[in-house]
Amino acid sequence: MWNKQVKIIYFSFGGSEVRQITLNWKKIFSLSAIVLTLLLIFVSGFIELTTDFFHNRQITQLSRANSQLITLLDEMSAKVEQVETKVQTLEKQDNDLRIFVDLPQIDSDVRKLGVGGNAQTAYMEMSALTENARNNASRVKILLDNLEQRIHVAQKSRDEIIEKYSENLNVIRHTPSIRPVINGRVTDRFGYRLDPMLDKVRPHHGLDLAAARGTPIYSAADGIVCRVVQKYTPNKGYGKLVEIDHGYGIKTKYAHLYKILVKPGQKVKRHTIIGQVGDTGRSTGPHLHYEVLKEENPVNPEIYILD
């Protein structure tokens, strides 16, 4: 078979010259192998070039995406830090409210409890991200976890505050907390003092607030008027007097009044006008003598006045 020959005759239509090539099967197979090899080399080179092109193009796209992601993460980080500032403000307000309703403070470590660990492990399998992008993503995740925990604690704290406030609301309404004469000037405080009429050191059981005659006097808290004194002896005692029972063992007295505007048994609210400043009884000038009694014992009224 290998000795058999194949004759190829070729000529040009424009001329009369005829040529021929004689090949045996061995040469034909050799030439075919060479052509196939060259074809395979060409195809392989073409595939490699095409692969490199698309690979480089993909790397460029991923690089651009990483750059955009890093920018986005930086923006997110800045916004998270802004939110953290607001959360800090809320936490301070939360602590103030807990003081107001007589609840213990929450330690800052407790608010952040459970935050930690290696957040970067969540991104280790994302090989398309650059190290910088993974670091930024981990930092943002830590901040978000931190905020999530603190917000959760704050929400639970607000629930406690609301519950405690509801329990205390009635007590709060009935606890003296305002200055009965809004712009009254303090002339004498609770404690021992030199009595201006006796020229002796004697205990002073209340707070004296000087103001013009007729200045309104307000109830310091909700309660019931339990005592009203209209008749008095000049230059002696409390003069015209109003006493209010606020419940929970607390009472308030308002003395030396010019005019009384309430009656015994009348329910009053905080800021109800109960009378007017005067100088009845033992007094050197128009003022309000204001007392707070706890379980019938005089206490310093200023500890009950909230600025």
- Structure tokens belonging to residue 208: 């004296």
**259-270 confidence digits (pLDDT tens):** 999 999 999 999
In terms of C-beta density within 10 A (0-12 exposed, 13-18 middle, 19 or more buried), how is residue 13 classed?
Answer: exposed
Q: Are residues 147 and 210 in the same domain?
A: no
Q: Are residues 241 and 130 in the same domain?
A: no
Q: Are residues 263 and 162 in the same domain?
A: no
Q: What confidence score (pLDDT) does residue 83 get?
A: 79
Residue range(s) defining the domain that contains residue 284: 185-304
Measured CA to CA, the distance from residue 221 to residue 193 in angstroms comes to 28
Is residue 77 a part of any domain in this protein? no
Q: Are residues 94 and 64 in the same domain?
A: no
Is residue 179 a part of any domain in this protein? no
Q: What confidence score (pLDDT) does residue 125 get?
A: 46
Distances (CA, A) of 293 to 55, 139, 205: 87, 58, 9
Q: How many domains does the chain have?
A: 3
Considering the entire predicted model, what is its pTM? 0.50
Q: Which parts of the chain sit beneath pLDDT 50?
A: 115-117, 119-125
Q: What confidence score (pLDDT) does residue 122 get?
A: 46
Contact (Cβ atoms closer than 8 angstroms) between residue 175 and residue 223: no
Q: What confidence score (pLDDT) does residue 278 get?
A: 96
Displacement of CA 83 from its chain's centroid (Å): 8
**157-188 confidence digits (pLDDT tens):** 888 888 888 888 888 899 999 999 998 999 88
Q: Are residues 266 and 232 in the same domain?
A: yes
Contact (Cβ atoms closer than 8 angstroms) between residue 219 and residue 209: no
Q: What confidence score (pLDDT) does residue 193 get?
A: 67
Q: What confidence score (pLDDT) does residue 3 get?
A: 62
CB atoms within 10 A of CB 122: 13
Q: What confidence score (pLDDT) does residue 216 get?
A: 97
Q: What confidence score (pLDDT) does residue 180 get?
A: 96
Strands 201-204 vs 191-194: parallel, antiparallel or unpaired: antiparallel
Taking Cα atoms as reference points, which of 227, 207, 205, 204 lies closest to residue 275?
227
What's the first-to-final CA gap in the chain, in angstroms? Answer: 120
Q: What confidence score (pLDDT) does residue 199 get?
A: 65
Q: What confidence score (pLDDT) does residue 129 get?
A: 56
Q: What confidence score (pLDDT) does residue 226 get?
A: 97
Q: What confidence score (pLDDT) does residue 219 get?
A: 97
Q: Are residues 207 and 286 in the same domain?
A: yes
Measured CA to CA, the distance from residue 43 to residue 57 in angstroms comes to 21
Measured CA to CA, the distance from residue 289 to residue 278 in angstroms comes to 10
Average predicted confidence (pLDDT) for the chain: 81
